[in-house]
Structure formats: C-alpha cells, structure tokens
C-alpha cells in the first residue's frame, strides 16, 4: 500500500512535465517528416538515406543543486530518461566560479526544450543566473518550473528569494550591468507559462 502511494505521488509530480516534453518531441518529428516530404523533388524515386541533424539534447535541465538535487530534480531527470528523453543535467555547481563557455552555450541553444527549476536559492548562484540569461535568448523553448517559490517573488526579487539574491550580489560585488541582466532574466522568466509548485504540496503543480 505504501508503494502505491509513492507511485501516485511521483506521477502527480512529474506527469504534466513529462507529457509536455513527449508531446513536443512527437510534434517535432512530424514537422521534420513533413519538411522532408516537401523537399523531395521526385517522390517516385528510390528513397535515399537522410540522417536528420539532431539537437544536442531533447531537454536541458538547469537547477540549483543544494535546493533540489536528490529530490525533485533527480526525480524529474530519471523519469525523463526512463521515457527515452535525452536530457542534459546542470546542477549549477559543476563549474563553480567559471564563466559559461561557447560549447555550453551551444548546448543550450541546440536543446529542444529548456527547463530551469527556479528554487529558493537559485538566484544565489552566478552559474544559474548566467545560464538563465542564455536560456532567455531561446524563450520560445523555455518551460520554467517554480519550485516552492512564487512567481511574484522571482519577478520582483522580493521575500526570501529576493533577500538571497541581493545578499549574494552585494557579497560578491558584481558589476551592476551584469546584475541588471540577471534581474531582467528573472522578470521575464516569471511571465512565461510553466509550472508552479505549492509550498505545502510537493506532489502538485499549478499551470
């Protein structure tokens, strides 16, 4: 009985996200197939083997490891992988103190879906903030998750989320131009359609 409850809990937690990702993949395959047919100059000729250009990843998953690693982020990652989705997992702490390189930016740009998991301490990481700025360049493919944090707190940098952000910026004394870029990214991502978890109900998300 206990195992059944756990499975129902997991299903409620990740099902909306998983279904959206898989639906996007199916639509992308149909578009690619229709595009190849439209470009075929001689439908009656023997088919040639055409290898489609693959995106680096189906999903680029960004999160603050200290907040969600070994919890929601790992759960979502495993469910996506089990469903056959090619996922890149960036926990925001793999390269502490380093700037985002060109190869990393290309991974973001070439991924089909971008999912930042914005949590309480997400804005207290230079790496996470820099990744978010890059993600906003591809906002049409961006599906944010607000994990135990309200959209308004992210948009206006208020409450505990804003306090963590301001403390981090003041402590590290970042250039004001960079800080303004981060603020703009936080404001814009909060306006996108995505999922928002209730603080007292891990297993449910609000669209």
Residue 143 has a CB neighbour count (10 Å cut-off) of 17
Whether pTM exceeds 0.95: no
In a domain, 42, yes or no: no
pLDDT more than 70, % of the chain: 65
Crossing angle, helix 126-135 and helix 102-110, to 10 degrees? 50
Does some domain include residue 68? yes
Q: What is the pLDDT of residue 100?
A: 79
Mean pLDDT of 98-108: 83
Please name the helix (run of DSSP H) or strand (run of DSSP E) that holds residue 58, with its range, or none. none
Residue 129 neighbours by CB under 8 Å, 6+ apart: 122, 123, 182, 185, 186
Q: Is 32 within the bounds of a domain?
A: no
* 92 Rama class: left (phi>0) / alpha (psi -120 to 50) / beta: left
How many structural domains is the chain composed of?
1
Q: Is residue 149 in some structural domain?
A: yes
In a domain, 106, yes or no: yes
**Domain extent at residue 187:** 2-19+55-199
Residues near 188 by beta carbon (within 8 Å), at least 6 away in sequence: 136, 139
Contacts of residue 87, Cβ cutoff 8 Å, sequence gap at least 6? 57, 58, 59, 60, 61, 77, 80, 81
In a domain, 36, yes or no: no
- Above 50 in pLDDT, residue 157? yes
pLDDT at residue 3 in the model: 37
In this predicted structure, the answer to whether residue 12 has a pLDDT above a threshold of 70 is: no
Looking up residue 184, the CATH number of its domain turns out to be 3.40.50.10140
Residue 44 in any domain: the answer is no
DSSP classification of residue 199? T
The band of 154, judged by pLDDT with boundaries at 50, 70 and 90, is very high
Residue 95: phi, psi to the nearest 5? -130, 65
For the cut 90, the answer to whether the pLDDT of residue 116 exceeds it is yes
Does a structural domain hold residue 77?
Answer: yes
């Amino acid at each position: 009985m206990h195992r059944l409850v756990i499975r129902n809990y997991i299903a409620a937690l990740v099902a909306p996200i998983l279904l959206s990702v898989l639906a996007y993949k199916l639509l992308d395959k149909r578009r690619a197939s229709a595009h190849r047919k439209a470009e075929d100059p001689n439908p009656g000729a023997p088919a040639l083997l055409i290898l489609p250009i693959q995106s680096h990843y189906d999903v680029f998953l960004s999160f603050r490891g200290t907040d969600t690693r070994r919890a929601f982020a790992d759960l979502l990652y495993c469910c996506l992988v089990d469903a056959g989705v090619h996922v890149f997992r960036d926990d925001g702490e793999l390269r502490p103190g380093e700037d985002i390189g060109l190869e990393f930016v290309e991974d973001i740009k070439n991924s089909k879906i971008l999912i930042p998991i914005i949590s309480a301490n997400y804005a207290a990481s230079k790496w996470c903030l820099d990744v978010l700025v890059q993600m906003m360049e591809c906002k049409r493919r961006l599906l944010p998750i607000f994990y135990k944090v309200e959209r308004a707190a992210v948009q206006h940098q208020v409450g505990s989320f804003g306090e963590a952000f301001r403390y981090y910026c003041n402590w590290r004394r970042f250039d004001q131009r960079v800080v303004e870029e981060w603020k703009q990214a936080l404001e814009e991502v909060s306006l996108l359609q995505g999922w928002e978890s209730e603080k007292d109900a891990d297993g449910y998300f609000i669209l």
